[in-house]
Amino acid sequence: MTSIGTGYDLSASTYSPDGRIFQVEYANKAVENSGTAIGLRVKDGIVLAVEKIIHSKLLVPEANRRIQNLDKHLGMATSGFQADGRSLANRGRDEATSYRDYYRQPSPVKEVVNRLSMYVQAYTLYSSVRPFGVSAIIGGVDKTGPRLFIVEPSGVAYGYHGAAVGKGRQLAKTEIEKLKLSELSTREAVAEAARIIYLVHDDAKEKEFELEMSWIGDETNGLHVPVPEGLLAEAERKAKEALETFE
């Protein structure tokens, strides 16, 4: 059934006769049109990578970051509307801080993900709001080890070994499936993540892009931080090399 002109897509509080909520599906479309974001959960940590499309040469390099910190041990990469991603990250920071204030310890990744997913879900219930136009990959290291989740516009959240959202997610997923994630170190995963982002970027259609990467694990003392410049440059060089042999 088409959603156009039927009147069932005018608000997130209305089901269509076959049980869908079109506003949520449109939100997913917003994500599908955005630059790819991936997350890898490996042996000793998490690597997040984003293909940030540069829509103007006048932009300051590294502006409008799409990977953000929720806490010292929690990172979030978003795909979709940048402003919605910012807003969601703000909420994530509040939840992580609130957990720390209540329990005097860093939050489990799952706890913040659960709270955020309930928050996102609430935006699918009312006619006065629109659902979040982002899928968020949330990764971190807690007592139980590295953990990786995706929160979707509908409010569902699943845990993953490897995550991909955005325009190039299909190709990215097949590439991630080829990796032996449980045997990789974060350092190796940085190179793989860079390679995958370069691979899924469609330079025939798209303008230039900037590779944005962060990691967390034993190498970073459990802090979610941007991948150091030297390592990032090295990973990009290898990614470009791999791209030439791939084609």
Partner 1 sequence: MDHFPTNWGRPRNDAHDAFNTYPLHQRPAPHTDTFAEGVQRTQQPIVTGTSVLAIKYKDGIMMTADTLASYGSLARFKSIQRLHAVGESTVIGASGDMSDFQYLQGLLDGLVTDEFTAGDGDALGPAEVHEYLARVLYARRSKMNPLWNSLLVGGVKDGESFLAYVDLLGTTYTASTLATGYGAYIALPLLRQAVEGREATLGADEARRILTESMRVLFYRDARSLNKFQIATVTAAGVDISEPIVLDTAWGFAEGIRGYGGQTQ
Write out the residues near partner 1 by the rule CB under 8 A. 65, 68-72, 93, 97, 100-101, 104, 223, 226
CA distances from 83 to 53, 64, 90, 144 (A): 15, 10, 11, 32
Closest CB to partner 1 among 92 and 168?
92
How near is the Cβ of 141 to partner 1 at its closest, in Å?
15
User: What CA–CA distance (Å, rounded) separates 195 from 121?
Assistant: 34
How near is the Cβ of 69 to partner 1 at its closest, in Å?
4
User: What CA–CA distance (Å, rounded) separates 44 from 85?
Assistant: 27
Write down the residue that tokens 């259609």 correspond to: 205
Closest CB to partner 1 among 14 and 97?
97
How near is the Cβ of 188 to partner 1 at its closest, in Å?
25
User: What CA–CA distance (Å, rounded) separates 41 from 179?
Assistant: 11
Closest CB to partner 1 among 65 and 115?
65
Closest CB to partner 1 among 223 and 231?
223
For residue 97, give the H/E element and its range: helix 82-103
How near is the Cβ of 222 to partner 1 at its closest, in Å?
12
